[in-house]
A and B are shown apart, each in its own frame.
Chain A
């Protein structure tokens, strides 16, 4: 038998496998130490730092400690 594959069927099959692949990816939790998760954690830490800094009252006249001399 030589079933005729129409373009419509082919597209449906491709969409189906992409969708099921997506579903599998969504189901599998990424490892806590995956590069993506570690990057998210690091970014989150930077965001928390930013938040902590924004709570400090900073007069407009204060210049950065660029010309740093102890």
Chain B
């Protein structure tokens, strides 16, 4: 077996693939060492939900046989990965991070995981998450049956939610990439807090068949990787039409950023206040530097702001109503009381009481918001803003999801409500590490119109060509 150093554990998919093709590494080598590392270090960050080592090594042997016969299935062949524990993997527990579902086993595998399997990528473990993806609202990082997601950069800090384990595992070099999900911020936030690159695809681009539903009209699956390029490689595999997902956009994705408008030709909408005033003081230099790099790329920066809508109230009403409808059997059976977070329990129960008129009003306003946001992209190609306004909070700090600055009221200026607005509109976003504040990673998000993933990834690649924030490694003890 080859000698494994941290350079392997923190390599990009493209780098690992080159080693597999050159026969420096076999799929079995990679799967074995990553599995061992995930099992050994994952629990340190409460990142591991379920190791799948034995099955993964068996699968890796089959992949090596294919490679021996020179049957190449693309850049993910032989690459290990992890998946948020809301994706079904036939015959194995899928807990949704919640005690009432601890013994839940499905007899079919999620489409996204099947697609990865078909190209020879090997699932080595299920990754921890906030219970039920936090749909009822939660007050503490400990809102998970796996315990609080701990940040590899500082285990006294939160890894973010709800894809906590997915981001922490990539950041700590436990998997080369992971699949997460986002309803409103659950890929972007943990990616930003853990210093990795996360892509929220356009609604409907990636099938959600076999994934836990929280909000039928807002749920998306997407990759969390080291680089923008890796996100493109993974998205190409998991995207595509699926008649089993009623929300499927019936579109494919080919990672061909070279054929799209180049970063230097982009018009990028931003609000100066988002970079210079809103962020925590310690994070401002990193965000201002990120803006300077975008300027350096040659893109035209245009001051802009989001259309005025009560984005927080919209996402709150829609996610609460749909989430409580999804989990009605859990709530009415009383098993909801087994959840870890008391605020989440109360939120789910209260969600059942939201009147139909409020949900319908929210969905009607959402249509107006979608139209206005679509119009915004006549004048700009991409929007840029800080992903979160500062680094990860302490794991003991209460999380106030109720009225954070990002959940803006109509009076707010700039793009501070970009996460809820982008999710309501179903448009794609890429989170890019852009520096450190208080020794912890911070990130910017770039957001484009529907199906503009190639444009975002091209800009992300260019940004990462000029920076090395995505290559920084947290102080993970190997012993």
Contact = CB atoms under 8 A, between A and B. Distances in A.
Nearest to B343: A38
A58 B361 contact: yes
Interface string B393-437: 000000000100000011000000000000001110000000000
Contacts, number: 110
A49 B255 CA distance: 40
B360 interface: yes
A38 B345 contact: yes
Nearest to B137: A42
A1 interface: no
A42 B346 CA distance: 6
A68 B203 contact: yes
B350 interface: yes
B249 A52 contact: no
A69 B313 contact: no
B275 interface: no
A69 B204 contact: yes
Given A35-B345, A46-B317, A50-B317, A70 B364 contact: no
Interface stretch (B38-46, B51-59, B113-121, B366-374): B366-374
B346 A50 contact: no
A63 B361 CA distance: 9
Contacts of A2: none
Given A38-B342, A45-B402, A58-B368, A70 B450 contact: yes
Contact-residue size bin, chain A (C-beta under 8 Å from the other chain): 20 to 34
Contact of B451 (A55, A64, A70): A70
Contacts of B362: 49, 53
Interface string A17-57: 00000000000000001010011011101101110111110
A39 B350 contact: yes
Given A65-B217, A68-B247, A70-B202, A56 B425 contact: no
Contacts of B314: 53
B266 interface: no
Contact of A43 (B204, B342, B350): B350
Given A46-B353, A58-B365, A58-B368, A41 B360 contact: no
A28 B215 CA distance: 39
Contact-residue size bin, chain B (C-beta under 8 Å from the other chain): 35 or more
A41 B351 CA distance: 12
Contact of A41 (B204, B316, B320, B346): B346
A56 to B, nearest CB: 5
B350 A49 contact: no
B245 to A, nearest CB: 13
A48 B354 CA distance: 12
A33 B313 contact: no
A53 B317 CA distance: 9
Nearest to B218: A68
The interface centre, meaning the residue of A41, A52, A66 with most chain B CB atoms within 10 A of its CB, is: A52
A55 B343 CA distance: 27
A56 B310 contact: yes
Contacts of A52: 310, 312-313, 409-410
B191 to A, nearest CB: 21
Contact of A65 (B204, B367, B450): B367
A42 B350 contact: yes
A8 to B, nearest CB: 42
10 contacts: A38-B346, A42-B349, A46-B353, A48-B313, A49-B310, A49-B313, A54-B361, A56-B310, A64-B367, A65-B370
Given A46-B316, A56-B361, A70-B203, 7 more contacts: A39-B350, A52-B410, A56-B310, A65-B370, A70-B370, A70-B427, A70-B450
Interface of B: 136-137, 202-204, 217, 247, 249, 309-310, 312-314, 316-317, 320, 342-343, 345-347, 349-351, 353-355, 358, 360-368, 370, 402, 409-410, 425-427, 450-451
Shortest 4 CB-CB distances between A and B: which pairs?
A70-B426, A64-B363, A38-B346, A42-B350
